[in-house]
Amino acid sequence: MTSPAPSPSRGAPAPGLGRPIVDARGLWKRYGPLAVLKGVDLSVAERELVFIIGPSGSGKSTLLRCLNRLEEPDDGSIHVDGIELLSPRTDINAARRRIGMVFQSFNLYPHMTARQNVMLALRKVLRQDRAQAEAVAARALERVGLAERMDHFPAQLSGGQQQRVAIARAIALEPRVMLFDEPTSALDPELVGGVLNVMRELRQDGMTMVVVSHEMAFARAAADRVVFMADGEKLEEGPPAQIFGEPRHERTRAFIRQIDRH
C-alpha cells in the first residue's frame, strides 16, 4: 500500500534554499482500519520554515509526530540530517537530539524553576556539568526574552511565558530542526504574540522549522512554503502567496474561504 515514488518536484523545498534536512517519503499511519496518513511526502531544506495547515483530523499533528518517531509510521522512510530514523540500527534517542519539538502543552516540571526545567535535558541527555548547563540554559532563556524570569516557577509565569520556556528547553539542545505542534492553541489570545515573536526570531536566525498551527497571519508573513493536508493526504503545497491567494485544489480553496470568513 506504499504510495508511488514521488516526482522530483513533489515535496521539494522552496527554490534557492539549502539541502534537505528532513526528507519523509511515502508515510502511512493506520489506527486499525483508519488510515490517518496516506503516503505523505515532505522534504524540508536547511533554514526553511514550512507551515502545515488543514482542517482538524487531516493528519497534520500525526505527520509531525512521525518526524521524531513519537508515532511509528506503518510504511515509508524518514531521513533527518542524513539519519534514517526508521532503521533498526538507529539510536533514536541520539537522533532526537537533532530534532527539537514544542507541543500545545508546556510539559514543565512545576517544582523546578524555568532555568532548572531547561537545564534538565542538558544534564541528563548531554551530560553537561552543572555550571555549563546553567550557562547554556541562561542563554536559551535570554534568547526567548525570559532573562528576568529564569528563576521563577511555572506557576509564577503566564501561559505564553511557560511556552517560551518550553521553546528555550528545545533550542538549548541545539537541534538541527524544530517541530512546533500547535504551539499557541492553549494560550489566551493576548499571550500568542510573545510566542510568535520568538518563532520569528528563530526564523531570522536561520532555524529550520516545521509548524502545525492555525496562526494563518503568521504563515502568510513568515513561511517559505505552506503545505495543505486533508483526510491524511498532502493535497497542495507552495509559497504562501499561492496557497492563500491562488490555491489550485478545491479543498484548499474551500478551507481558505472558511478561514477568511473568520
Summarised one tens digit per residue, pLDDT across range 4-50 is 333 333 466 655 556 799 999 999 999 999 999 999 999 999 999 99
Q: Which residue has the higher pLDDT, 233 or 15?
A: 233
Instruction: Please report which helix (H) or strand (E) contains residue 55, including its range.
Output: none
Q: What are the tens digits of pLDDT across the range 107-146?
A: 999 999 999 999 999 999 899 999 999 999 999 999 999 9
Contact 139, 168 (CB under 8 A): no
Ramachandran sector of residue 82 (left: φ over 0; alpha: ψ -120 to 50; beta: rest): left
Which strand ranges, in their side-by-side order, compose the sheet holding 208-212? Answer: 99-102, 177-181, 208-212, 49-53, 225-230, 233-238
Q: Which residue has the higher pLDDT, 19 or 83?
A: 83
Res. 52 pLDDT band, cuts 50 70 90: very high
Contact 113, 165 (CB under 8 A): no
Is residue 235 pLDDT above 70, yes or no?
yes
Per-residue pLDDT at 4: 35
Burial 124-157 (b: 16+ CB within 10 A, else e): eeeebeeeebbebbbebbebbbbeebbebbbeeb
Which residue, 36, 107, 103, 100, is CA-closest to 72? 36
Per-residue pLDDT at 9: 39
Contact 27, 39 (CB under 8 A): yes
HSE-up of 15 (CA within 13 Å, CB side)?
Answer: 3
Q: Which three cell numbers stand for residue 42?
A: 515532505
- pTM for this entry: 0.90
Task: Kindly state the average pLDDT of the residues 150-165.
Answer: 96
Is residue 89 pLDDT above 50, yes or no?
yes
What pairing do the DSSP bridges indicate for beta strands 225-230 and 208-212?
Answer: unpaired
Mean pLDDT of the chain: 91
Angle at 49 between CA 47 and CA 53, to 5 degrees: 160
Domain locations in the chain as residue ranges: 108-174
